[in-house]
Amino acid sequence: MSKLIIGRHHESEWNKLGLWTGIRDRHLTDYGFKKSEEMGLLIRDIHVDRAFASMQVRSIETLSSMLDIMGEYNVPTEHSATLNERDYGDYTGKSKWDMQKIVGEQKWEEIRRGWDHPIPRGETLKMVYDRSVPYFLEKILPFVLAGENILIVAHGNSCRAMIKYIENISDDKIADVEMSFGAVFIYELDKNGRMVKKEIRQTESVVNA
């Protein structure tokens, strides 16, 4: 059965500093490049027929590193802004850890993990879901159903949005779902894009995010 593989980009320059990056473009660190290659090695037993990534450079660099280390040099690849990270609005560029102290633990967790918690001039996870999941269903799922192995490399929140749909996770339970750095989720799907089988492979990763 064909596979859908979902991975999050690895450590960027602002991840290392503990800053909310959102739609701001920042490159991977040397550590991020190294760990992206390790992510590729996790799935080297699976031939990738087609790949998708966001328009942001940290996602593109992670995908390229994964495919290169796998020896997959001719994979058709599509980039879409619908897979971009959540826009953190006024919080962009601010220290997550400073904000934790300012707003308190409960609100900080709601900001980071909540389903529809607003951010000044930014996006909620629900808004990310509303742009990324239709793209997944219309542009990616048909290739999976046609028998291709598909690799998606995106961001913490766009990955969580797709996982919410694939695993049919409720609005209140999505706060418990984390897409870890260095993890790849490998799914088998039914005709509606829902999970039939799931496997998680993980490379040890320590990221200040």
Per-position DSSP letters for 144-161, written without gaps between them: HHTT--EEEEE-HHHHHH
Delineate the domains of the chain, giving CATH numbers in brackets: 4-202 (3.40.50.1240)
Mean pLDDT of the chain: 97
Q: What three-state secondary structure class fits 194?
A: coil
Half-sphere exposure of 132 (CA within 13 A, CB side): 31
d(CA 36, CA 174): 25
For the segment 121-143, the average pLDDT, to the nearest whole number, is 98
- Contact, 76 vs 47, CB < 8 A? no
Check pLDDT > 90 for residue 69: yes
> Which helix (H) or strand (E) covers residue 79, if one does?
strand 77-79
Q: What three-state secondary structure class fits 78?
A: strand
11-45 residue pLDDT tens:
999 999 999 999 999 999 999 999 999 999 999 99
**Residue 9: active-site member:** yes
**Residue 47: active-site member:** no
Radius of gyration of the chain (CA): 16
The DSSP line for 101-129 is: HHH-HHHHHHHHH-SS---TTS--HHHHH
d(CA 52, CA 60): 9
- Contact, 203 vs 39, CB < 8 A? yes
Catalytically annotated residue among 9, 10, 123, 155: 9
Check pLDDT > 90 for residue 209: no
d(CA 24, CA 12): 11
91-129 residue pLDDT tens:
999 999 999 999 999 999 999 999 999 999 999 999 999
Catalytically annotated residue among 11, 61, 72, 85: 85
